[in-house]
A and B are shown apart, each in its own frame.
Chain A
Amino acid sequence: MRALVFVFLLFFILPVAVSGQSDYRAGSLSQINVNFKVLQNWKLNTKLETRQIFSEKEPEALASHRFRYERTDLSAVLTTKLSADNTLGGGYLVRLEDKKFTHRLIQQFNNVKNLDLVSIAHRIVTDETFSSGEPAEIRLRYRLGLEKPLNGLQIDPKEFYAKFNNEYLGIWSTKQTDLEIRGLLALGYNATDNNKVELGLEYRVSGFSETVRAQQFWLSIGWFISI
Protein backbone atom coordinates (compact mmCIF):
# COMPACT_ATOMS: atom_id res chain seq x y z
CA MET A 1 0.00 0.00 0.00
CA ARG A 2 2.85 2.37 0.89
CA ALA A 3 4.44 1.65 -2.49
CA LEU A 4 1.19 2.58 -4.26
CA VAL A 5 0.93 5.84 -2.33
CA PHE A 6 4.56 6.60 -3.21
CA VAL A 7 3.95 5.91 -6.90
CA PHE A 8 0.80 8.04 -6.84
CA LEU A 9 2.67 10.93 -5.24
CA LEU A 10 5.63 10.54 -7.58
CA PHE A 11 3.77 10.41 -10.83
CA PHE A 12 0.56 12.33 -10.28
CA ILE A 13 1.02 14.87 -7.52
CA LEU A 14 4.67 15.74 -8.09
CA PRO A 15 4.26 16.71 -11.77
CA VAL A 16 1.45 19.12 -10.86
CA ALA A 17 3.54 20.54 -8.02
CA VAL A 18 6.67 21.06 -10.09
CA SER A 19 5.00 22.13 -13.32
CA GLY A 20 4.70 25.69 -12.11
CA GLN A 21 8.42 25.97 -11.32
CA SER A 22 10.86 23.78 -13.24
CA ASP A 23 11.20 22.43 -16.76
CA TYR A 24 9.45 19.15 -17.34
CA ARG A 25 8.19 16.74 -19.93
CA ALA A 26 5.45 14.16 -19.51
CA GLY A 27 4.38 11.63 -22.07
CA SER A 28 4.56 8.07 -23.24
CA LEU A 29 7.50 5.87 -24.24
CA SER A 30 6.54 2.90 -26.37
CA GLN A 31 9.13 0.35 -27.41
CA ILE A 32 9.27 -2.95 -29.21
CA ASN A 33 12.29 -5.17 -28.61
CA VAL A 34 12.89 -8.09 -30.92
CA ASN A 35 15.78 -10.40 -30.08
CA PHE A 36 17.20 -12.80 -32.62
CA LYS A 37 19.57 -15.63 -31.87
CA VAL A 38 22.46 -15.45 -34.30
CA LEU A 39 25.12 -18.15 -34.15
CA GLN A 40 25.75 -20.20 -31.00
CA ASN A 41 26.54 -17.55 -28.40
CA TRP A 42 25.34 -14.36 -30.08
CA LYS A 43 22.10 -12.42 -29.94
CA LEU A 44 20.92 -9.41 -31.94
CA ASN A 45 18.59 -7.00 -30.16
CA THR A 46 16.60 -4.63 -32.34
CA LYS A 47 14.56 -1.92 -30.69
CA LEU A 48 12.06 0.59 -32.02
CA GLU A 49 11.14 3.27 -29.51
CA THR A 50 8.92 6.31 -29.92
CA ARG A 51 8.21 9.20 -27.57
CA GLN A 52 5.01 11.19 -27.41
CA ILE A 53 4.64 14.29 -25.26
CA PHE A 54 1.38 15.07 -23.48
CA SER A 55 2.53 18.03 -21.40
CA GLU A 56 5.77 20.04 -21.20
CA LYS A 57 7.39 23.21 -20.05
CA GLU A 58 10.51 24.70 -21.58
CA PRO A 59 12.76 27.22 -19.78
CA GLU A 60 11.29 30.74 -19.66
CA ALA A 61 8.06 29.52 -21.27
CA LEU A 62 4.55 28.65 -20.25
CA ALA A 63 3.52 25.03 -19.86
CA SER A 64 1.96 23.41 -22.91
CA HIS A 65 -0.54 20.58 -22.58
CA ARG A 66 -0.81 19.67 -26.26
CA PHE A 67 -0.11 16.18 -27.56
CA ARG A 68 2.86 15.95 -29.90
CA TYR A 69 5.02 13.22 -31.33
CA GLU A 70 8.64 13.82 -30.32
CA ARG A 71 11.00 11.26 -31.80
CA THR A 72 11.70 7.71 -32.94
CA ASP A 73 14.78 5.62 -32.15
CA LEU A 74 15.81 2.51 -34.00
CA SER A 75 18.72 0.51 -32.59
CA ALA A 76 20.53 -2.78 -33.06
CA VAL A 77 22.83 -4.25 -30.41
CA LEU A 78 24.80 -7.45 -30.91
CA THR A 79 25.68 -9.26 -27.67
CA THR A 80 27.71 -12.32 -26.83
CA LYS A 81 27.68 -14.42 -23.70
CA LEU A 82 30.99 -14.15 -21.83
CA SER A 83 29.92 -16.58 -19.10
CA ALA A 84 26.76 -17.91 -17.45
CA ASP A 85 25.90 -14.48 -15.99
CA ASN A 86 27.78 -11.96 -18.14
CA THR A 87 27.20 -10.57 -21.61
CA LEU A 88 29.10 -8.03 -23.69
CA GLY A 89 27.61 -6.10 -26.57
CA GLY A 90 27.97 -3.29 -29.05
CA GLY A 91 25.55 -1.55 -31.34
CA TYR A 92 24.23 1.45 -33.19
CA LEU A 93 21.21 3.70 -32.75
CA VAL A 94 19.69 6.14 -35.18
CA ARG A 95 17.22 8.78 -33.98
CA LEU A 96 14.80 10.84 -36.02
CA GLU A 97 13.74 14.04 -34.30
CA ASP A 98 12.58 17.31 -35.91
CA LYS A 99 13.43 15.84 -39.34
CA LYS A 100 17.08 15.48 -38.27
CA PHE A 101 19.04 12.28 -37.71
CA THR A 102 21.21 11.59 -34.66
CA HIS A 103 23.67 8.68 -34.55
CA ARG A 104 24.86 6.81 -31.47
CA LEU A 105 27.44 4.09 -30.90
CA ILE A 106 26.74 1.80 -27.95
CA GLN A 107 28.96 -0.51 -25.87
CA GLN A 108 27.46 -2.47 -22.99
CA PHE A 109 28.24 -5.03 -20.32
CA ASN A 110 25.59 -6.93 -18.38
CA ASN A 111 25.56 -9.14 -15.34
CA VAL A 112 22.28 -10.91 -14.58
CA LYS A 113 21.75 -13.28 -11.66
CA ASN A 114 18.55 -15.26 -11.12
CA LEU A 115 18.28 -15.70 -7.36
CA ASP A 116 15.58 -17.64 -5.48
CA LEU A 117 13.11 -14.77 -5.18
CA VAL A 118 14.41 -12.06 -7.46
CA SER A 119 16.52 -11.49 -10.57
CA ILE A 120 19.20 -8.82 -10.28
CA ALA A 121 20.71 -7.17 -13.34
CA HIS A 122 23.63 -4.76 -13.55
CA ARG A 123 24.12 -2.92 -16.83
CA ILE A 124 27.07 -0.69 -17.67
CA VAL A 125 26.86 1.23 -20.93
CA THR A 126 29.07 3.76 -22.67
CA ASP A 127 27.69 5.55 -25.69
CA GLU A 128 28.80 8.29 -28.06
CA THR A 129 26.21 10.49 -29.76
CA PHE A 130 26.75 12.48 -32.93
CA SER A 131 24.37 14.93 -34.58
CA SER A 132 24.92 17.76 -37.03
CA GLY A 133 25.43 21.17 -35.47
CA GLU A 134 25.92 19.69 -31.97
CA PRO A 135 29.13 18.71 -30.16
CA ALA A 136 29.67 14.98 -29.72
CA GLU A 137 28.26 13.68 -26.43
CA ILE A 138 29.69 10.83 -24.36
CA ARG A 139 27.66 9.09 -21.67
CA LEU A 140 28.57 6.55 -19.00
CA ARG A 141 25.52 4.72 -17.65
CA TYR A 142 24.93 2.27 -14.82
CA ARG A 143 21.57 0.60 -14.33
CA LEU A 144 20.40 -1.68 -11.54
CA GLY A 145 17.41 -3.79 -12.48
CA LEU A 146 15.30 -5.96 -10.20
CA GLU A 147 12.56 -8.32 -11.25
CA LYS A 148 10.26 -10.26 -8.94
CA PRO A 149 7.40 -12.66 -9.64
CA LEU A 150 4.05 -11.57 -8.23
CA ASN A 151 2.99 -15.18 -7.71
CA GLY A 152 5.26 -17.99 -6.61
CA LEU A 153 9.03 -18.09 -6.68
CA GLN A 154 9.75 -17.82 -10.37
CA ILE A 155 8.25 -16.00 -13.33
CA ASP A 156 6.33 -18.66 -15.22
CA PRO A 157 4.29 -18.37 -18.42
CA LYS A 158 1.04 -16.40 -18.04
CA GLU A 159 2.24 -14.77 -14.82
CA PHE A 160 2.72 -11.17 -13.79
CA TYR A 161 5.91 -9.72 -12.36
CA ALA A 162 7.18 -6.44 -10.96
CA LYS A 163 10.24 -4.70 -12.35
CA PHE A 164 12.27 -1.86 -10.90
CA ASN A 165 15.10 -0.03 -12.66
CA ASN A 166 17.36 2.67 -11.28
CA GLU A 167 19.86 4.21 -13.68
CA TYR A 168 22.57 6.86 -13.35
CA LEU A 169 23.94 8.61 -16.44
CA GLY A 170 27.04 10.78 -16.54
CA ILE A 171 26.94 13.05 -19.60
CA TRP A 172 29.94 14.88 -21.10
CA SER A 173 30.24 17.18 -24.10
CA THR A 174 32.16 20.39 -24.82
CA LYS A 175 28.89 22.24 -24.15
CA GLN A 176 27.88 20.69 -20.83
CA THR A 177 28.52 18.12 -18.13
CA ASP A 178 25.48 16.68 -16.47
CA LEU A 179 24.03 13.85 -14.44
CA GLU A 180 20.71 12.18 -15.11
CA ILE A 181 18.94 9.82 -12.72
CA ARG A 182 16.14 7.51 -13.83
CA GLY A 183 13.72 5.34 -11.92
CA LEU A 184 11.21 2.90 -13.40
CA LEU A 185 8.51 0.85 -11.72
CA ALA A 186 6.73 -1.51 -14.08
CA LEU A 187 4.21 -4.31 -14.11
CA GLY A 188 5.14 -7.08 -16.52
CA TYR A 189 3.20 -9.96 -18.03
CA ASN A 190 5.15 -13.02 -19.08
CA ALA A 191 2.95 -14.54 -21.80
CA THR A 192 5.71 -17.03 -22.56
CA ASP A 193 9.39 -16.98 -21.69
CA ASN A 194 10.01 -15.35 -25.07
CA ASN A 195 7.13 -12.91 -25.09
CA LYS A 196 6.71 -10.24 -22.41
CA VAL A 197 4.82 -6.98 -22.06
CA GLU A 198 5.65 -4.28 -19.53
CA LEU A 199 3.67 -1.23 -18.48
CA GLY A 200 5.38 1.18 -16.15
CA LEU A 201 5.98 4.66 -14.89
CA GLU A 202 9.39 6.23 -15.30
CA TYR A 203 10.79 9.34 -13.69
CA ARG A 204 13.94 11.10 -14.90
CA VAL A 205 15.72 14.08 -13.43
CA SER A 206 18.68 15.95 -14.93
CA GLY A 207 20.11 19.44 -15.06
CA PHE A 208 22.13 19.07 -11.85
CA SER A 209 24.60 21.66 -13.15
CA GLU A 210 21.75 24.13 -13.79
CA THR A 211 19.86 26.25 -11.30
CA VAL A 212 16.60 24.50 -12.19
CA ARG A 213 16.27 20.74 -12.60
CA ALA A 214 14.68 19.23 -15.70
CA GLN A 215 12.23 16.46 -14.96
CA GLN A 216 10.58 13.85 -17.13
CA PHE A 217 7.56 11.66 -16.41
CA TRP A 218 6.90 8.80 -18.78
CA LEU A 219 4.24 6.18 -19.17
CA SER A 220 6.34 3.33 -20.48
CA ILE A 221 5.03 0.48 -22.63
CA GLY A 222 7.46 -2.24 -23.69
CA TRP A 223 7.10 -5.43 -25.67
CA PHE A 224 9.95 -7.96 -25.61
CA ILE A 225 10.02 -10.80 -28.10
CA SER A 226 12.75 -13.40 -28.57
CA ILE A 227 12.89 -15.38 -31.77
Chain B
Amino acid sequence: MIKRKHFVNLTFSLLAPLLWIPCLAQKKYEREYSIKPNAVPENAISFVSSVFKKAKIHWYREEGLTGKSIEAKLKSSGKRYSIEFDESGNIQDVEVLSRVDQMNSAGRAKLKENLGKKFSGYKIVKTQLHWNGSEKALKESLLKDKAVAGIVVRYELIVKGSQGKKEHYFEVLSENDGEVVSLKEIVQRNTDNLIY
Protein backbone atom coordinates (compact mmCIF):
# COMPACT_ATOMS: atom_id res chain seq x y z
CA MET B 1 0.00 0.00 0.00
CA ILE B 2 1.41 3.39 -1.00
CA LYS B 3 0.71 6.27 1.33
CA ARG B 4 0.24 9.93 0.47
CA LYS B 5 3.23 10.87 2.60
CA HIS B 6 5.48 8.72 0.42
CA PHE B 7 4.37 10.55 -2.73
CA VAL B 8 4.93 13.95 -1.13
CA ASN B 9 8.39 12.81 -0.05
CA LEU B 10 9.09 11.45 -3.55
CA THR B 11 8.00 14.72 -5.19
CA PHE B 12 10.19 16.86 -2.98
CA SER B 13 13.10 14.46 -3.35
CA LEU B 14 12.82 14.75 -7.13
CA LEU B 15 12.58 18.54 -6.97
CA ALA B 16 15.56 18.89 -4.63
CA PRO B 17 18.14 18.37 -7.43
CA LEU B 18 16.86 21.63 -8.98
CA LEU B 19 19.21 23.31 -6.52
CA TRP B 20 22.10 21.79 -8.48
CA ILE B 21 21.26 23.57 -11.70
CA PRO B 22 23.63 26.55 -11.29
CA CYS B 23 26.47 24.04 -10.78
CA LEU B 24 25.58 22.21 -13.98
CA ALA B 25 25.83 25.37 -16.08
CA GLN B 26 29.55 25.99 -15.70
CA LYS B 27 30.50 24.81 -19.21
CA LYS B 28 31.76 27.08 -21.98
CA TYR B 29 28.98 28.56 -24.03
CA GLU B 30 28.09 31.11 -26.68
CA ARG B 31 25.45 33.71 -26.01
CA GLU B 32 24.05 37.02 -27.17
CA TYR B 33 22.14 39.51 -25.11
CA SER B 34 20.74 42.99 -25.52
CA ILE B 35 22.74 45.93 -24.17
CA LYS B 36 21.94 49.59 -23.62
CA PRO B 37 23.40 52.25 -25.95
CA ASN B 38 25.63 53.56 -23.12
CA ALA B 39 27.46 50.20 -23.18
CA VAL B 40 28.23 50.56 -26.91
CA PRO B 41 31.53 52.15 -28.10
CA GLU B 42 31.05 55.75 -29.26
CA ASN B 43 32.38 55.14 -32.80
CA ALA B 44 29.85 52.31 -33.35
CA ILE B 45 26.99 54.58 -32.27
CA SER B 46 28.20 57.46 -34.43
CA PHE B 47 28.56 55.18 -37.48
CA VAL B 48 25.02 53.84 -37.20
CA SER B 49 23.42 57.18 -36.34
CA SER B 50 25.23 58.90 -39.21
CA VAL B 51 23.55 56.53 -41.69
CA PHE B 52 20.21 55.84 -40.02
CA LYS B 53 18.90 59.11 -38.61
CA LYS B 54 15.45 58.00 -37.44
CA ALA B 55 15.62 54.24 -37.02
CA LYS B 56 15.15 52.55 -33.66
CA ILE B 57 18.34 50.64 -32.99
CA HIS B 58 18.62 47.50 -30.88
CA TRP B 59 22.12 46.74 -29.60
CA TYR B 60 23.39 43.25 -28.76
CA ARG B 61 26.63 41.83 -27.45
CA GLU B 62 27.71 38.41 -28.66
CA GLU B 63 30.14 36.29 -26.67
CA GLY B 64 31.52 33.16 -28.26
CA LEU B 65 34.53 30.91 -28.28
CA THR B 66 36.09 33.03 -31.02
CA GLY B 67 35.66 36.38 -29.25
CA LYS B 68 33.19 39.13 -28.51
CA SER B 69 31.36 41.47 -30.85
CA ILE B 70 28.66 44.12 -30.82
CA GLU B 71 25.74 44.14 -33.20
CA ALA B 72 23.22 46.81 -34.14
CA LYS B 73 19.90 45.57 -35.49
CA LEU B 74 17.43 47.94 -37.04
CA LYS B 75 14.70 48.37 -39.61
CA SER B 76 14.83 51.25 -42.08
CA SER B 77 12.80 51.89 -45.24
CA GLY B 78 11.29 48.39 -44.95
CA LYS B 79 14.68 46.67 -44.80
CA ARG B 80 16.21 44.84 -41.86
CA TYR B 81 19.88 45.58 -41.19
CA SER B 82 22.39 43.91 -38.94
CA ILE B 83 25.67 45.78 -38.48
CA GLU B 84 28.52 44.06 -36.67
CA PHE B 85 31.37 45.78 -34.82
CA ASP B 86 34.32 44.49 -32.85
CA GLU B 87 34.61 45.29 -29.14
CA SER B 88 36.34 48.61 -29.89
CA GLY B 89 33.53 49.70 -32.19
CA ASN B 90 35.28 49.09 -35.50
CA ILE B 91 32.83 47.96 -38.15
CA GLN B 92 33.22 44.35 -39.32
CA ASP B 93 30.39 43.75 -41.79
CA VAL B 94 26.81 44.58 -42.74
CA GLU B 95 23.97 42.13 -43.33
CA VAL B 96 20.71 43.05 -45.02
CA LEU B 97 17.71 40.73 -45.02
CA SER B 98 17.13 39.97 -48.67
CA ARG B 99 15.74 37.44 -51.13
CA VAL B 100 17.71 35.05 -53.29
CA ASP B 101 16.09 36.51 -56.41
CA GLN B 102 18.01 39.73 -55.67
CA MET B 103 21.10 37.84 -56.81
CA ASN B 104 22.05 38.26 -60.47
CA SER B 105 20.49 35.57 -62.67
CA ALA B 106 23.81 33.90 -63.62
CA GLY B 107 24.82 33.71 -59.94
CA ARG B 108 21.41 32.39 -58.98
CA ALA B 109 21.58 29.64 -61.61
CA LYS B 110 25.07 28.64 -60.46
CA LEU B 111 23.96 28.63 -56.80
CA LYS B 112 20.95 26.47 -57.68
CA GLU B 113 23.24 24.05 -59.49
CA ASN B 114 25.67 23.93 -56.54
CA LEU B 115 22.93 23.43 -53.94
CA GLY B 116 21.45 20.69 -56.13
CA LYS B 117 24.77 18.86 -55.86
CA LYS B 118 24.93 19.25 -52.06
CA PHE B 119 21.32 18.28 -51.28
CA SER B 120 18.85 15.75 -52.62
CA GLY B 121 16.14 18.34 -51.85
CA TYR B 122 16.30 21.80 -50.31
CA LYS B 123 14.40 24.97 -49.52
CA ILE B 124 15.93 28.39 -48.89
CA VAL B 125 14.23 29.74 -45.77
CA LYS B 126 16.23 32.94 -45.20
CA THR B 127 18.58 35.06 -47.28
CA GLN B 128 20.89 37.80 -46.08
CA LEU B 129 23.01 40.03 -48.25
CA HIS B 130 26.50 40.16 -46.75
CA TRP B 131 28.71 43.24 -47.29
CA ASN B 132 32.33 43.32 -46.29
CA GLY B 133 34.78 46.19 -46.84
CA SER B 134 36.24 49.38 -45.43
CA GLU B 135 34.23 51.62 -43.11
CA LYS B 136 34.03 54.29 -45.80
CA ALA B 137 32.81 51.85 -48.47
CA LEU B 138 30.27 50.27 -46.12
CA LYS B 139 28.89 53.66 -45.12
CA GLU B 140 28.60 54.73 -48.76
CA SER B 141 26.88 51.45 -49.65
CA LEU B 142 24.35 51.86 -46.86
CA LEU B 143 23.63 55.47 -47.90
CA LYS B 144 23.28 54.56 -51.58
CA ASP B 145 21.46 51.30 -50.78
CA LYS B 146 23.75 49.32 -53.07
CA ALA B 147 27.22 47.82 -52.85
CA VAL B 148 29.84 50.31 -54.09
CA ALA B 149 33.31 49.52 -55.41
CA GLY B 150 35.52 47.85 -52.79
CA ILE B 151 32.68 45.91 -51.18
CA VAL B 152 32.79 42.13 -51.23
CA VAL B 153 29.20 40.95 -51.73
CA ARG B 154 28.18 37.53 -50.50
CA TYR B 155 24.91 35.84 -49.67
CA GLU B 156 24.27 34.05 -46.41
CA LEU B 157 21.45 31.55 -46.75
CA ILE B 158 19.61 29.39 -44.24
CA VAL B 159 18.69 26.26 -46.13
CA LYS B 160 16.49 23.37 -45.05
CA GLY B 161 18.06 20.54 -46.96
CA SER B 162 18.09 16.77 -47.21
CA GLN B 163 21.27 14.74 -47.43
CA GLY B 164 20.30 11.12 -47.86
CA LYS B 165 17.31 10.44 -45.63
CA LYS B 166 18.14 13.18 -43.14
CA GLU B 167 16.84 16.72 -43.26
CA HIS B 168 18.61 19.50 -41.38
CA TYR B 169 19.09 23.25 -41.42
CA PHE B 170 22.32 24.55 -42.96
CA GLU B 171 24.06 27.91 -43.18
CA VAL B 172 25.38 28.44 -46.69
CA LEU B 173 27.74 31.28 -47.59
CA SER B 174 27.78 31.98 -51.29
CA GLU B 175 29.76 34.33 -53.49
CA ASN B 176 27.80 36.77 -55.62
CA ASP B 177 28.49 34.49 -58.60
CA GLY B 178 26.84 31.48 -56.90
CA GLU B 179 30.04 29.74 -55.83
CA VAL B 180 29.54 28.12 -52.39
CA VAL B 181 32.17 29.38 -49.91
CA SER B 182 31.07 27.36 -46.89
CA LEU B 183 28.30 25.04 -45.80
CA LYS B 184 27.70 24.36 -42.12
CA GLU B 185 25.00 22.30 -40.45
CA ILE B 186 23.11 24.34 -37.87
CA VAL B 187 22.85 22.65 -34.49
CA GLN B 188 19.17 22.98 -33.68
CA ARG B 189 18.19 24.26 -30.26
CA ASN B 190 16.75 21.73 -27.85
CA THR B 191 12.96 22.09 -27.93
CA ASP B 192 11.97 19.10 -25.79
CA ASN B 193 10.08 21.42 -23.44
CA LEU B 194 7.81 22.43 -26.34
CA ILE B 195 7.18 18.86 -27.45
CA TYR B 196 6.31 17.11 -24.17
Contact = CB atoms under 8 A, between A and B. Distances in A.
A68 interface: yes
B7 A72 contact: yes
A118 B1 CA distance: 47
B32 A154 contact: yes
B194 A197 contact: no
A177 B177 CA distance: 61
Contacts of B14: 30, 32, 48
- Size class of the A contact interface (CB-based, 8 Å): 35 or more
A204 interface: no
A152 B61 CA distance: 9
For chain B, the bracket of interface size reads 35 or more
B76 interface: no
A224 B2 contact: no
Contacts of A188: 193
B190 A145 contact: no
B121 to A, nearest CB: 10
Q: Looking at chain B's contact residues, is the secondary structure mostly helix, strand, loop, or mixed?
A: mixed
A68 B4 CA distance: 8
Max count, chain A CB within 10 A of own CB: residue among B1, B24, B31: B31
B60 interface: yes
Contacts, number: 120
Contacts of B21: 189, 191, 195, 197
A32 B7 CA distance: 14
Contact of B194 (A77, A84, A145): A145
Nearest to B160: A84
Contacts of B192: 33, 35, 43, 45, 224, 226
Contact of B167 (A35, A83, A108, A158): A83
Interface of A: 30, 32-33, 35, 41, 43, 45, 47-48, 50, 52, 68-69, 72, 77, 79, 83-85, 87, 96, 99, 108, 110, 112, 114, 119, 121, 123, 145, 147, 151-159, 163, 188-189, 191-198, 221-224, 226
**4 closest Cβ contacts across the A-B interface?**
A156-B31, A121-B194, A83-B167, A157-B29
Given A152-B33, A153-B73, A224-B196, 17 more contacts: A30-B11, A32-B14, A33-B193, A45-B195, A84-B168, A112-B195, A114-B191, A152-B32, A152-B34, A153-B32, A154-B32, A154-B189, A159-B33, A163-B193, A192-B25, A192-B27, A195-B21
